[in-house]
Structure 1
Amino acid sequence: MGVIEHGEVVYRRGVGELVAGSGEPVTPETLFKIASNSKSMTTALLARLVDAGKLRWDDPVTKHLPQFRMYDDWVTREMQVRDLLIHDSGLRAGAGDLMLWPEPNSFSRADVIHGLRYLKPVHSFRSRYDYDNLMYIVAGEVAAAAGGAPYEILLQREVFEPLGLQRCRIGEWNRDSVGNVAQPHRREGDRNLPVREDGAVVANTTMAAAGGVRCSLDDMLTWVRTWLRPDNAAAPWLSAEQRRALWSAQMSMPVSQRQRDWDGSHYSAYGYGWRLADVDGTFKVSHTGTLMGMYSVVTMLPERDVGFVVLINGEAEEARTVLNQVLVKRYSAPAQRRDVAYYAQALERERAATPPAQRAPDTSARKPATTDAMRPWLGRYGDPWFGEVSLCAQGARVRFVSRKSPMLSGTVQRVDARWLVDWDDVSVDAEAWLDFGAAPDTGTMKMAKVDPEADFSYDYEDLAFVRVGGCD
C-alpha cells in the first residue's frame, strides 16, 4: 500500500509473502496483477495516439477495424472509439467475458471481435452503463491498427518508457528473470492457498488491454504522481486537452446507497478508463481491479493533491474496500474519524440486509447425475461465440467439457429437479445451472449462475447452446 501527498511518497509498504508459506516477502518492488486498472493505461495510450493525430475519439471503430461487427448493424456503424471505453454498448455487464476468463483458454483477440456480432444487447446503445471488458479488447486492437504496432509494444513505448514505469510488464516475459512476482491466492477456511500460479514463462494474454498489466507499488505510485502533477514541459507526455478528456464524465453511473451513506455522493460517472465521483464535496478519480486471487485499487483526490494505491494477492475484496475507504476519509473528511472497524461493521450490516433472492441457494443435497437420467440431453452443443462443449458420459458420471476453455470442465450434479455443473478447478468459483427446457427433445441448452451475486464475468446467461451432434 502506498500514499502520495503533494507529489511526495509519504507511505509505501509491502507486507505478506509472494507465495503463502514461501518466506519470500512482498516489497514495494513486487509485481502484482493490476487487473482493470490496466484500462486507464489503455486509454492513456489512445490519448497519446489522439495527440499524435493518428486517431480521433469520434472515429467510427470500423475506420480502424473494418471487420468489427455488433449484433445490430446500426450500432456497428455508429460505434465510435469513445464508446469502446465507457461501457455504453447495451450489452449485459460482462457479456462475452467467458472468452477472456478463466485462463488459460484458446480464444484470440480475433475470436473476441468476431464473437461480438452474436452477443444480443439487453439495453439500447448509449442508454445506460453496464461494465464491458470486451470493448477494451477492441480498443487495444484499434490502438494497434492506428499506431502501427501490437498493443503490447505500443503500451511499452508510449506509456511505460516515457513515464519510467520500470517494472511494469505486458506481453510475454520470464518470471525468474524479472523476479519478485506475487502469486494469486484463494481463501480456504483460515488458510491462503496459491491458485493459478505463473509458469516459468508468463504468456501474453488476450485480455491485455482490459486487465493484463502487472506493476509494482513503486510503479503505480509513479503513475499516480503523473496524474496529480502534470508535466508542464514544452512537449508534455500528454496534452492538457487529453488529460481533461480522460477525466471528463462520459457516461452516467448510478449512485449507490453505499456511496450516499459513506461519502455523501451526489453523482457518479465513467470517464475514459476512470470512475469519477464527488466525496464529501471533493472530486474523486478512481478504479478497482479484480482477477482471481488479485485485487487492486487506485484512488486520487486531485483537489487535495493526494492519491493511494492498494495491491493485494489474495481474496480480499472487503479488505480492499475498507482500506481504500479509510484512506479516502482521512483526506476528504478527517473530522469523521472513521476507522477500519467502522467500515467492516458497515459491510456486515449490508450483508445481513441482503434479500434472500440475491443469496446463493443451498445446493448441499446434490448427488452426481446418472447417465440414464441425463440420456435425453447428452451430446455436443455449440454456441456461436463460445464454441463447442460436450455433455457426455464418462464412466458412471456425466461430464461437461468446453473445447476452447478447458478450465470450464466439470461433473453434472442433480439438485432437486435441477442440473448443476460442479467445476473441477476450485478457482472457477461460480457454479452453473443447466436448463434444457420443458421438453427433452428441444436440442437446446441454457446456463445460469447458481449464485446470483457471482462475478458477472461468468456470463453463462449470454450462452445459447444448440445440439450439434452426439457423444463420440
Structure 2
Amino acid sequence: MSATTTSGATFTLSPGWTKKADGKIVELEAPEGDYKIALVDVGPAADAAAAITAAWNLWAPQNARPAKLITARPARNGWDDRQVASYETSPNEKRDLYAVAYRRGADWTVIIADGAEATGEKRLAAIGLVQQSLRPAGFKRESFAGVTAKPMDAARIADLRSFVEQAAKELGVPGAAIAVTDRTRTLYAGGVGVRSLGDPTPIDGDTSFAIASNTKGMATLLLAKLVDEGKLNWDQPVTQVYKQFRLGSDETTSKVLVRHLVCACTGLPRKDLQVILNSDPKAAAKDTFAQLAATEPTSGFGEVFQYNNLMASAAGYIGGYLSYPGVDLDRAFDQAVNGKVWKPLGMTRTTLDFAAGTSGNWARPHAMNIDGKPELILGNGQKLNYAFTRYGAAGGAWSTANDLARYVRFELNEGKLDDGRQYVSAANVLRRRAANVPVGEDRVYGMGMQVDSDYGIDVVHHGGSLGGYKSDIIIIPSAGIGAVLLTNADDGQSMLRPFMRRLLEILYDGKPEAAADVTAAATRIKAEVLKEAQSVSRVPDGTAVAALAASYENADLGPLKVIRDGKGVNFAFRSASVPFGTKKNEDGTTSFVATDPTFLFFPMVVGTKDGKKTLTARDSQHEYVFVER
C-alpha cells in the first residue's frame, strides 16, 4: 500500500501493518503490536544527529537514548544525505532499535524503528520495504525498461573486473573469482587477489569456494527435473512423496506442499544455532527432520519472508530419496544432484565433498578480527563450515567461477544444455522464479531464487553466506547475460549488491552508484567493529570467570564446557571451542562475548535459574538457556 509523510515523501506499507498520522509524525505498527516505525518530518536541522534527536523528541522522548554510532550511507533515491544511527541495547532487552536520517535540501525526514527483536526479525522484509521505498516528493525512479543492453565486450568485462579488484581492496577481501556468460559461452572467468593472506598464489576461474546458499537453486533444479520425470509435482503435499516428513503439528504438516520446501514463505524462523553449535555431521538428515518436527511456524504461510535452512535441507534429502530410494539419505542428495544436475551441465569441479572442495586450488576463508583487520579463519571458521555443509541442499556445495558460469548459462537458456537439448522443461525452470513471498520493493522470492525488478527489468539472483565465504549468482534474461561473484571473506557480503549494480550500470549506462556503496560499507563496517570492541574486555573479567560453572547443558544446543587458560576463557561447544571476553551491559548484567573472528561479538548472558548458574544465548526468535551440570 502506498502512503505519504506530511512533507509528501512516499513509501510503501506492507499488508497487516496499521498507520496513524499525527502532525509531523506517521506511526506504523506491526500486526503483533510490539514493533513500531515512526516517520518524522523534522524539517531543517544542523546535521543528522540533531535531526534524529528532534525526531525522538517529537515522537517518543521517553524511549530515546544517545546514539552509539552514526555512519553515512551514499545519497540515493532522491535524498541528498543518509545517515544511520545505531544504539546500545542490552541482550535481555530483546530490543531492535535504530534510526535513519534522510535529507533533501535543508529538510530532514527521520525513520525510527523500535520494537521486539523477534518481530523485527520476522517482519524484516516489511521493515526494509519502508526504508527502501522512501522517496522525496516528485522523485522519479531509474528504470532500464525498454533500454537495449550494451554488449559485454572485453572493455566492459575489464571495467567489471576493475570494480571487483577495487572493492576487494577497500573491504579488505583477499580475493574474488568472477565469471560472465551470455547464452552461448563463458565470456570471462578469472580472479583478483589471492587465495589466502600471506600466500601470493592468485585466484583464477577454477579456484574452489564454498558457495553456501547458492546450492539452493541447484536443489530446486533437481526437484524441477523430478517434476519432469513425474516423480513429484510442485503442488502436492510433501507427505505424499515422503511420508516421514513432519513440521510441528499435524495441521501444519498437512499444509506443506513441495513448493514450500524452498520458498522461505512458510513462516518458519531460522534455527541455525543448532546446526552451527550442535550438529552431527554424520547424521544431518536425521537432525534436519527431527528439528523440523519440533518447530512450528511463527507466521502464516505466504505472510512474510522468513529464511529457513532446515526446509531447504529437507528438500534436498527428499529429492535424493526420490532419485535413489535405496540409498542412505545423507548420501542420496549428493548422488542425485551430481547425477541429475552437475554432470549433465558439465560442472566437473562442483562437489558436496568437503575434503575435495578444500584441496588443491581452493580459496581460504577470512573474517575481520576485533582490531578491524582481515584474518585467516581456518580453525573455527572451517569447523562451522564443515558442520553447515553437511546440510547439503541448504548450502553444502563447493564450486568455481567456471562451473557456476555453466549453471547460470543453463538458467539463461531456460533449461537447455550447451548443445541445445532441452534437459529440464522451461516451465519448471521458470516455476522456481515465480513469486511466493515479497522480499522488498519489487523483489520477490521464488524457490531458491530471488527476482528483483526494481530497475524495471527482472534480475534473477541468489546469494550465499558461510564463514569466510560470500557469493552471488546473477541472471539478467532481458540482456542475455549472467554473472558470478565468489569471495573469500565475510566482508565480501558488502560486494554482492554493488557487483550486481555495477553490472547493470555497465549494461544499461546506469547512474554510477556501485563504487560509492562499497566505499561507504567499508568505512561503516570498520567503524562498527572498532566501536563495539571498545566495550569488550578481551581479557575477561576475573571475577566473572571465577563464577562460571565447569560445564553447562542446553537441550537444543548441547553441552558447553568452560576451559580456563591463564587469564582467558574458552567455551567449548560440540562443534567449536571459542575464546570469550566480557562486557558490562547497561542493565547491569554481564555478557561473555566471543572474540574469535568467526563468532565475533556473539554474546552469552550470565544469570541463574532455579538456583543454578546459567549462560543464555539468543538468535532473534529463540532463547537458549545453558544450565550448569
Asked if Structure 1 and Structure 2 have the same fold, meaning a TM-score greater than 0.5 normalized by the shorter chain, the answer is yes
Question: Does residue 81 of the first structure (1) align with residue 255 of the second (2)?
Answer: no
Match of 2:597 among 398, 416, 426: 426
Distance in 2 between residues matched to 1:119 and 1:387, nearest whole Å: 17
CA-to-aligned-CA distance 1:410-458 (integer Å, 9 cap, x gap): 4463515223233364322241132537x7637765323xxxxxxxxxx
Structure 2 letter corresponding to 1:364: V
Distance in 2 between residues matched to 1:387 and 1:21, nearest whole Å: 36
**Could you list the runs of 5+ residues in structure 2 that have no partner in the other structure?**
1-177
CA-to-aligned-CA distance 1:126-175 (integer Å, 9 cap, x gap): 32111111111111111122111410011110011111011111235446
Distance in 1 between residues matched to 2:200 and 2:354, nearest whole Å: 27
Distance in 1 between residues matched to 2:348 and 2:545, nearest whole Å: 59
Question: SS state of the match for residue 199, structure 2?
Answer: coil
Distance in 2 between residues matched to 1:29 and 1:397, nearest whole Å: 41
Match of 1:293 among 452, 464, 468: 468
Question: Does residue 186 of the first structure (1) align with residue 373 of the second (2)?
Answer: no
Question: SS state of the match for residue 486, structure 2?
Answer: strand
Question: Does residue 129 of the first structure (1) align with residue 302 of the second (2)?
Answer: no
Corresponding residue for 1:342?
516
Checking the alignment, whether the CA contact within 8 Å between 2:536 and 2:593 is kept in structure 1 is no
Match of 1:247 among 426, 433, 445: 433
Corresponding residue for 1:98?
273
- Of 284-293 and 62-71, more deviation after overlay is shown by 62-71
Question: SS state of the match for residue 517, structure 2?
Answer: helix
Corresponding residue for 2:321?
145
Q: 1:28 to 1:63 in 2, by over 3 A?
A: same
Match of 1:225 among 391, 409, 412: 409
Question: SS state of the match for residue 197, structure 2?
Answer: coil
Displacement after TM superposition at 1:41 (Å): 0.5
Question: Does residue 415 of the first structure (1) align with residue 574 of the second (2)?
Answer: no
Displacement after TM superposition at 1:105 (Å): 6.0
Q: 1:215 to 1:400 in 2, by over 3 A?
A: closer
CA-to-aligned-CA distance 1:320-373 (integer Å, 9 cap, x gap): 332221112222x41x34154333356579889x9xxxx959523574253697
Which one has more relative contact order, counting CA pairs under 8 Å at least 6 apart?
1
Checking the alignment, whether the CA contact within 8 Å between 1:379 and 1:390 is kept in structure 2 is yes
Checking the alignment, whether the CA contact within 8 Å between 1:85 and 1:273 is kept in structure 2 is yes
Q: 1:379 to 1:162 in 2, by over 3 A?
A: closer
Displacement after TM superposition at 1:310 (Å): 1.0
Distance in 1 between residues matched to 2:278 and 2:480, nearest whole Å: 38
Corresponding residue for 1:453?
none
Structure 1 letter corresponding to 2:366: H
Distance in 2 between residues matched to 1:4 and 1:162, nearest whole Å: 18
Distance in 2 between residues matched to 1:205 and 1:295, nearest whole Å: 14
Corresponding residue for 1:314?
489
Distance in 2 between residues matched to 1:66 and 1:463, nearest whole Å: 31
Corresponding residue for 1:163?
345
Question: Does residue 462 of the first structure (1) align with residue 619 of the second (2)?
Answer: no
1:315-330 mapped onto 2 (5 Å cutoff): 315=490, 316-330=492-506
Question: SS state of the match for residue 139, structure 1?
Answer: helix
Checking the alignment, whether the CA contact within 8 Å between 2:320 and 2:333 is kept in structure 1 is yes
Corresponding residue for 2:197?
20
Question: SS state of the match for residue 552, structure 2?
Answer: strand
Question: SS state of the match for residue 427, structure 1?
Answer: helix
Distance in 2 between residues matched to 1:127 and 1:344, nearest whole Å: 33
Question: SS state of the match for residue 312, structure 2?
Answer: helix
Distance in 1 between residues matched to 2:545 and 2:420, nearest whole Å: 75
TM-score w.r.t. length of structure 1: 0.80
Q: 1:175 to 1:162 in 2, by over 3 A?
A: closer
Question: Does residue 274 of the first structure (1) align with residue 456 of the second (2)?
Answer: no
Structure 2 letter corresponding to 1:304: A
CA-to-aligned-CA distance 1:214-245 (integer Å, 9 cap, x gap): 11111111111111124288962101220121
Structure 1 letter corresponding to 2:463: T
Question: Does residue 115 of the first structure (1) align with residue 291 of the second (2)?
Answer: yes
The structure having more radius of gyration, on CA atoms, is 2
Displacement after TM superposition at 1:117 (Å): 3.2
Distance in 2 between residues matched to 1:430 and 1:79, nearest whole Å: 37
Checking the alignment, whether the CA contact within 8 Å between 1:369 and 1:414 is kept in structure 2 is no
Q: 1:122 to 1:350 in 2, by over 3 A?
A: farther
Checking the alignment, whether the CA contact within 8 Å between 2:222 and 2:341 is kept in structure 1 is yes
Return the structure number with greater strand share.
Answer: 2
Structure 2 letter corresponding to 1:382: N
Checking the alignment, whether the CA contact within 8 Å between 2:284 and 2:391 is kept in structure 1 is no
Match of 2:479 among 304, 322, 338: 304
Checking the alignment, whether the CA contact within 8 Å between 1:171 and 1:204 is kept in structure 2 is no
**Could you list the runs of 5+ residues in structure 1 that have no partner in the other structure?**
256-266, 449-458
Displacement after TM superposition at 1:397 (Å): 7.2
Distance in 2 between residues matched to 1:191 and 1:303, nearest whole Å: 40
Identity %: 24
Checking the alignment, whether the CA contact within 8 Å between 1:386 and 1:463 is kept in structure 2 is no
Question: SS state of the match for residue 478, structure 2?
Answer: helix
Q: 1:374 to 1:66 in 2, by over 3 A?
A: farther
Match of 2:536 among 349, 353, 364: 364
Distance in 2 between residues matched to 1:125 and 1:369, nearest whole Å: 49
- Of 393-402 and 306-315, more deviation after overlay is shown by 393-402
Question: SS state of the match for residue 200, structure 2?
Answer: coil
Match of 1:30 among 185, 207, 216: 207
Displacement after TM superposition at 1:390 (Å): 4.7
Displacement after TM superposition at 1:392 (Å): 8.3
Structure 2 letter corresponding to 1:370: T
Corresponding residue for 1:446?
616
Structure 2 letter corresponding to 1:342: A
Checking the alignment, whether the CA contact within 8 Å between 1:69 and 1:116 is kept in structure 2 is yes
Question: How many residue pairs end up in the alignment?
Answer: 432
